[in-house]
A and B are shown apart, each in its own frame.
Chain A
Amino acid sequence: MLRLVVRRLGSAVLLTLVVTMATYFLVFSNGPGIARAILGKEATQATVQAKVVELGLDQPVFTQYLHWLGGLLTGSLGRSYFTQEPITTMLATRVPVTASLAVIILVLTAVISILVGVAAAVKGGWIDRVLQFVSVLGAAVPGFIVAILLVLTFAVGLHLLPATGYVSPTVSVTGWLSALVLPVLAVLVGSVGGAAQQFRGAVADVLSQDFVRTLRSRGVAERRIVFVHVLRSAAGPGLTILGLQTIGLLGGVVLIERVFALPGVGDLTVSTALQGDVPAVMGCVLFTIVVVVVVNLLADIAAAWLNPKARQA
């Protein structure tokens, strides 16, 4: 088990390095372009060049990346080109918003998908058909479109919920909740559709295994077989499914934050990208990758721990 954890941790760190390096090389490849984006179209060649030197963009990209990496180790991600604010501070104010969204969505996705997936696999019939229908819809219709339809119905049409804005839970818990209802719902349609369908597959796989039939032959109650034995065996694949779901979910959250004007990391990514605030964009990319990697690492380790064979290896 320890060896497995170390190996997975190693590959997670490697993945983070590879992806941040690739992104860094791409977004910092055009130093004069970055400088011009800050100074505006009218800036002369000389002022652009001066800006390039001032920001250290004249150095080889690899040197810049190493410098960025060194800063990362000391807890610094540089400063915004526009506001001079430390990137870490910018992220710190944004992370709670994205985190509340992502955690609520992930938990709800897990709970609903497991229940629906198990019901569809065990009962079949109409539950299964409804699930197929919903997952086709969920897979097909992009989350931000669902979000717009929700705004149109509940905020513009019925005036039930706020269309935009965010309230910190420290200010008002009910305000916080009602600000999150529509965004969460919008992402949930797609993520539940996808995950429940896969959970159904995982549970159906286990249900078709020989040991389930033998348990039935022993007179073990069906409910116990499903909720104890089958779920135990399906938990490993289930965790992997959820790990992969987070990747798509984060992409969905970026768009949702824009639709509902929630000041989260996704919103920051878009606004800084539009502005050309490259260090801030890099910070957002790093945050997203770290979340993806950590969630998948935890899912992997938990899945391995559930499997006695891997646990003892």
Chain B
Amino acid sequence: MSVEQITATSVDPEVGGGAVETRARRASALRRLVRNPMAMTCIVFLAALVAVALLAPVLAPYDQNLTRVDLTNAKPFSGPFVLGGDSSGRDILSRLIWASRGTFLACVVVLVVSVVIGVTAGLAAGFLGGWTDRVSGWLSDVVLALPGTVLLIALYTVIGPSILIAMAVFGLLIAPSFFRLVRAVVTQVRRELYIDAARVSGLSDLRIVFRHVLIAVRAPVIIQSSFVLAAGIGIQAGLEFLGLGNPREASWGGILQTSFASIYQNPGAVVAPTVLISLTTLVLVLLGNALRDVLQVTAAPRQLTRRQRTELRDRLTATATPAQAPARDALLSVRDLHIAYPNGDDHTEVVHGIDLDVHRGVIHGLVGESGSGKSQTVFSVLGILPREAVAAGSIVFDGTEILGSDAALRAVRGKRIAYVPQEPMSNLDPTLTVGQQLVVGVRAVKPISRRAARTDLLGLLARVGIKDPTAVFDMYPHEISGGMAQRVLITGAIAADPDVILADEPTTALDVTIQADVLDLLREIRDERGLGMVLVTHNLGVVADICDTVSVMRGGHIVETGDVRTVFAAPSHPYTRELLAAATTAEVH
């Protein structure tokens, strides 16, 4: 056994484990499919159609071209022709049954052509990359930009009344939808697996990647097939309706054409073919949607109804000790704040009843690792949590309860409580200049003219340390640096002269050299205006540098709170001690 073989085998258990896991997942996917009533209804309908197509000679009461002059334009349910007779006296039911064979064949052709071309090209582009990728990508874009129906009609002059060749061409035209799908999957799997494979064995095995790709690509291809078939049947019926099909063979679109031509003589004859065609395409689209639900777990958040929200709110606050009264001397007082997100039929609580007080002139640090609920707390004070979130408890600002009260929030948001975000660049509207969006913010809370706002803001921009305020005022966000963007956002926060600033990791995204400047700026603003501040951070250095009081947060709880010096000198909670120890070690290194 060579070294390569050994290392290859040592990778194998990984892959083997993966395969076992996928087998289990496949089994559960199948079970979910069977349990999905929509998917099963669609599958049964389609299976019945296929059976009808295969058994047409047995099932059809009459031959497709049998004519009975006495039953010309016969009404549905009026005689031997159950669904009526067409203008040539042929049985519409029999013709529909016979025609389902053509539809079935065309579906096979469309699927084979589009899957073979699309999947092969997608695999090639994803694996080979380089010019193969570029050329096939360009070709796929060109094909997608083509007016397919018109081209298929034009091709009639060459191929004549052969609907199967036309549908093969349609398969070619729709192949890019598979191409793009497969190419994206390959690229993603390669990116993930190469990292793993390289770590384990130091070599990348194309075969392993290929196997994983085939597994990963299967579900999206099946889902897409359903949609492609729906489009195919629609196009096929359309072409036949235009008279581009073979006139000697019954076809769904052709039957519809004949019936439509005599719509005034026999309106009922139109019903069966229209219902059949639209029901089949509808079933295929519904099946695609159901398959997507079954095979791809979507993370779309579920929204609760108003009543469910109230119930959840009550449930959140019902637990544990009764909430304390808000602190009378505090500007902002949070009591027993819970935040939860709906999760399936249950909910996930991310903040478990915290208390927090903010005083005038004091910078309060809210410290903890990411995911501990710090930002969620800040958002709930401002009432800017995502729509599906549910917050319960009490947030009193200057004597008024603001949690859950839109009117109270409107009166304070941006005006008396301001927010400085974490990531400066993504928090500026990319389509507006710095000045335009600052003016929007100020004028939202202050009755002030555009010109006066501009004068004020230019002064503030200079105050926060921007060298050339007039130039920056007319720049777009992508033209300024991250540090400048954060100063702009701080300007936006202080422009309305607030009483409290909530700064969510205001320095994390910035260069180390700029971090200290921004912290100094925040301290100066506090000193000048005597406002209260909550500074969210995961960095104890920042807390030591600028904060007066601190709350340590972990897993949605505040585990310790107090004066910075006291907490740092004598931490009472083990987690605080851990944090401090980690910070000191980091500094030693």
Contacts and interface: CB of A to CB of B under 8 A. Distances in A.
Interface of A: 15, 18-19, 23, 26-27, 29-30, 33-34, 37, 124-125, 136-137, 139-142, 144-145, 148-149, 151-152, 156-157, 163, 209-211, 213-221, 224, 228-229, 232-233, 247, 250-252, 254-255, 258-259, 266, 269-270, 273-274, 276, 278, 281-282, 284-285, 288-289, 292-293, 296, 306-309, 312
Nearest to B234: A142
Contacts of A306: 431
Contacts of B153: 254, 269-270, 273, 281
A309 B428 CA distance: 14
27 contacts: A26-B154, A26-B155, A27-B158, A125-B303, A139-B285, A140-B286, A141-B281, A142-B278, A144-B241, A148-B274, A152-B267, A163-B263, A213-B379, A214-B419, A214-B489, A214-B492, A217-B382, A220-B414, A233-B429, A255-B238, A255-B242, A266-B150, A273-B153, A273-B154, A274-B243, A281-B157, A308-B476
B151 A285 contact: yes
Nearest to A267: B242
A269 B158 contact: no
A293 B444 CA distance: 42
Contacts of B286: 136, 140
Contacts of B289: 136
Interface stretch (B6-14, B139-147, B192-200, B555-563): B139-147
B538 interface: no
B418 interface: yes
B445 interface: yes
Given A136-B286, A142-B234, A27 B142 contact: no
B108 to A, nearest CB: 20
Contact of B263 (A156, A210, A228, A274): A156
A292 B149 contact: no
Contacts of A273: 153-154, 156-157, 244
A306 B432 CA distance: 10
B179 interface: no
A308 B410 CA distance: 31
Given A219-B445, A224-B444, A251-B147, A142 B154 contact: no
A145 B277 CA distance: 8
A219 B410 contact: yes
Given A152-B267, A211-B426, A247-B147, 15 more contacts: A26-B154, A124-B303, A125-B303, A148-B256, A148-B270, A211-B427, A211-B428, A233-B431, A254-B150, A269-B154, A273-B154, A281-B154, A285-B154, A296-B145, A309-B476
Contact of A142 (B145, B150, B237, B427): B237
A152 B479 CA distance: 59
Contacts of A209: 426
A250 B267 contact: no
List the 7 closest A-B pairs by CB distance, nearest first: A219-B414, A251-B149, A217-B419, A218-B441, A142-B234, A140-B285, A218-B414
B315 interface: no
Interface residues of B, number: 70
A22 to B, nearest CB: 9
A12 to B, nearest CB: 10
B413 interface: yes
Given A26-B158, A27-B154, A152-B263, A220 B444 contact: yes
Most buried by B among A33, A157, A209, A217: A217
A136 B230 CA distance: 11
Contacts of A15: 142, 145
B384 A213 contact: yes
A185 B434 CA distance: 44
Interface in B246-266: 256, 260, 263-264
Interface in B345-382: 379, 382
Contacts, number: 211
A181 to B, nearest CB: 18
Nearest to B263: A156
Nearest to B446: A219
Contacts of A292: 145-147
Contacts of B489: 214
B505 to A, nearest CB: 12
Q: Is the interface of A mostly helix, strand, loop or mixed?
A: helix
B387 interface: yes
Given A18-B142, A270-B153, A296-B145, A218 B492 contact: yes
Contacts of B238: 142, 144, 255
Nearest to B388: A124
Interface in B406-459: 410, 413-415, 418-419, 421, 423, 426-432, 437, 440-441, 444-445
Interface string B159-177: 0000000000000000000
Contacts of A156: 263-264, 267
A148 to B, nearest CB: 6
Contacts of A276: 157
A216 B277 CA distance: 48
A218 B431 contact: no
Contacts of B214: none
A217 B418 contact: yes
B496 interface: yes
Contacts of A251: 147-150
A207 to B, nearest CB: 9
B496 A219 contact: yes
With most chain B CB atoms within 10 A of its CB, the pick from A214, A254, A278 is: A214
B478 interface: yes
B440 A219 contact: no
A47 to B, nearest CB: 20
Contacts of B492: 214, 218
Given A26-B155, A247-B146, A273-B154, A221 B444 contact: yes
B121 to A, nearest CB: 18
A186 to B, nearest CB: 12
B484 interface: no
Contacts of B441: 215, 218-220
A224 B445 CA distance: 13
A281 to B, nearest CB: 5
A278 B157 contact: yes
Contact of B429 (A211, A221, A250, A266): A211
A172 to B, nearest CB: 24
Given A217-B384, A220-B444, A23 B154 contact: yes
B56 interface: no
